[in-house]
Structures are given as C-alpha cells and as structure tokens.
Chains A and B, each alone.
Chain A
Amino acid sequence: MHEAAIVESALELILAKAEEHQLTKIRRITAKVGELSGALPDAMQFVFQNASQGTIAEGSDFIIEQVEATASCGSCDITFPILYYHPVCPSCGGLDNQVLTGYELYIDTMEGD
C-alpha cells in the first residue's frame, strides 16, 4: 500500500510546517487529493490515524477533499469529467484533450495552537 509512503511524507511536511509556525498542537489538516493521483482517501485516512500517533498531529481532523478529474476539448470548447482515466470528449469523441484537474496531491491548510 503506497498510501503509507504518501502519508508519511505528508506528516513529515506537516510537522515541519508546524515547527516553522511554532505550533505545539495540530487540530485540523486539509488535503486535496485528485481522482487521478493514484491515492485512495480511505487508505490515507487509515494510515494517518496510525502514523500520527505520538506526534502533535495525533487526534487532529484530517480532512481530504477529493478533486474531480476534468479535461477540456480544444475542438468543442467544453470541459467534461474524466471517467476512469479516459479523457474522451463526450461531444466529438476526440482523444487529444487537456487534463485540467485530477492530479492534485497536496496539503492545503492546517490549524493549530
């Protein structure tokens, strides 16, 4: 399960940020995880609950916002959701489309004391 490595990396940067801002307790973390990022929010939650134990992030709310995968078709000038990595334009059936969202995998905000 590579979410373990992803969450460990996330924790590392959260704790470093907390130190930078002199926080001694983290209460809330928000993350953006795109549908194309290859990371499962449920698996990330599970790992986070375990990995954060014994750190200042233990017991914090870890809120993962899933970002829908979307693409735009240059010929039809429309934006459409991508289903299962198939960026097929629903209007013209074209495949040469620009992926706009879905690859996000980042920590957005955190709150603490």
Chain B
Amino acid sequence: MSSVKVVTNILKVNDELTQENKKLMNEKGLYVINLMSSPGSGKTSILEKVIAKLKDEVKIAVIEGDLYTTKDAERIEAQGVQVVQINTEGGCHLDGQMIRNALSHLNLDETNLLVIENVGNLICPASFKLGEDLIITVLSTTEGNDKPLKYPRMFEKSEFVILNKVDLVPYTNFNKDEFHKDIREINPRAKVIETSCVTGQGIDELCSWLKEKISISNPV
C-alpha cells in the first residue's frame, strides 16, 4: 500500500483550459463578461438593450449558453453582432472546454467586448470560471426578494447585481429594501442597479458602468 499526497484542485482541468482561453482573450484585448441568472430573469432582453446602445462604440460578440434551441442566439444576431450558440443538451453550466470551442467560431480581432450569457441557473454556473473580467448576476422582481439569501453563491461572486423587471414591483410582494440589505450583507462590494426592459429604466446607467469598466481594463 502506498500513500500519495495529491493536494490538487478538483477543477484543475477547467482552470487550465480557462487559463488558456484567458491568454487568447488577453492577446485579442477582449473585455469579458459572465452574465448569469435564473431562466427567464431577462438576461437576453437586457443584453439586447445594451447591444443596441453600445454597438456603435464597442465591438461586441456574444456566446449564448442554453440547454437546447438557438432562440436566444437568433435574438442577439438580429442586433447585428457576432454570436455563437452553445447547446449544453442538458448540462447545467458552461465550462472552459465549451468556451474554447465557441471562441474558435468568433472573429476576435473584430471584438472588444465578449459577453458570455450563461445557462439559466442560479446554482451551478457559479462554480466554473470562464475567464471573465466581470461577473453580472440578474435577478428579476417576479422571482421574489428571498432568492439572494436562498442562492447566495452567485450573488456573492458578482461585481454587478442587476434587479430587473422593476416595473412589475407594484404587482408583486417584492421587498426592495430587504433585497438591497441582503445583497449588502452577502456581498458588500457589489454594485446594484435596477432596470426595466419595458420602461428602459437603468439601461443607460448600466451602459455607462460597462463603458467605464471596458475603458479601465483597456486604457487607450
């Protein structure tokens, strides 16, 4: 019987792939966002709004992660930006290998901002680094304000937290004060922004935040 000291991170394979991906992203000068949320929170709608506002100033490409269908990729393609769809066919998150494949389908020389829209799931995607510079988690008011406490990990990892569908607050029992307090406790460093894709609230502010982020990471 022999004993071996292993002491190796279990996600080493994903981390190594992600490091390789990150090297390529850096060579191409990409600013990378990992956008996460439950299904139906409005990730794609927010992205459509942001792309419409920023596409003349920033060259955007999108990696769309879904279990099945190319519905979201079609919506993004209609905005006139590069998009590649990853179908995980049941897989609950995106990983380094999938991102590597997706990157090979994009013209990275024509890209400054890469948005990875992760699989709609508030749990699993938080465990897999994808080489992002910024993690954004979206929560919609219709999900209930208790979700950050019930599913804290993703919120704890996020630099931006977006509260979407704020136009629906009067029709729900969503308590915004509690939501803001909970996010502060889980992640005091997170910037929180309230948006509505119906009224357009918060979209301009979100775009300025993003532009600030992109310019800080790629000083001209």
- A residues within 8 Å of B by Cβ? 1-2, 5-6, 9-10, 12-14, 17-18, 21, 23, 27, 31, 36-39, 84-86, 88, 95-96, 105-113
Contact = CB atoms under 8 A, between A and B. Distances in A.
Interface string B1-24: 111111111111110000000000
B93 A5 contact: yes
B188 A37 contact: no
Contacts of A37: 127
A9 B188 contact: no
Contacts of A17: 4, 6, 8
A6 B127 contact: yes
Contact of B11 (A23, A105, A109): A105
Contact of B2 (A31, A85, A112): A112
State the majority secondary structure of interface residues on B.
mixed
Interface of B: 1-14, 91-93, 95, 123-124, 126-128, 149, 152-153, 156, 184-186, 188
A63 B126 CA distance: 24
Most A-side CB within 10 Å, residue of B10, B124, B153, B188: B10
Given A2-B93, A36-B153, A110-B6, A27 B188 contact: no
Contacts of A108: 5-7
Nearest to A39: B127
A85 B153 contact: yes
Contacts of A18: 4
Most B-side CB within 10 Å, residue of A1, A10, A37, A111: A10
B92 A109 contact: no
A83 to B, nearest CB: 10
Contact of B7 (A23, A88, A106): A106
Contacts of A113: 1-2
A106 B8 contact: yes
A34 to B, nearest CB: 11
Given A6-B127, A106-B9, A112-B1, A88 B93 contact: no
Given A36-B153, A85-B152, A112-B1, A13 B8 contact: yes
B103 to A, nearest CB: 20
29 contacts: A1-B92, A1-B124, A2-B124, A5-B91, A6-B11, A12-B13, A13-B8, A13-B10, A14-B6, A18-B4, A21-B4, A23-B2, A23-B4, A27-B1, A37-B127, A38-B126, A39-B127, A84-B149, A85-B153, A86-B152, A86-B185, A86-B186, A96-B188, A105-B11, A107-B7, A109-B4, A111-B2, A112-B4, A113-B1
A24 B169 CA distance: 61
Given A85-B156, A88-B185, A109 B6 contact: yes
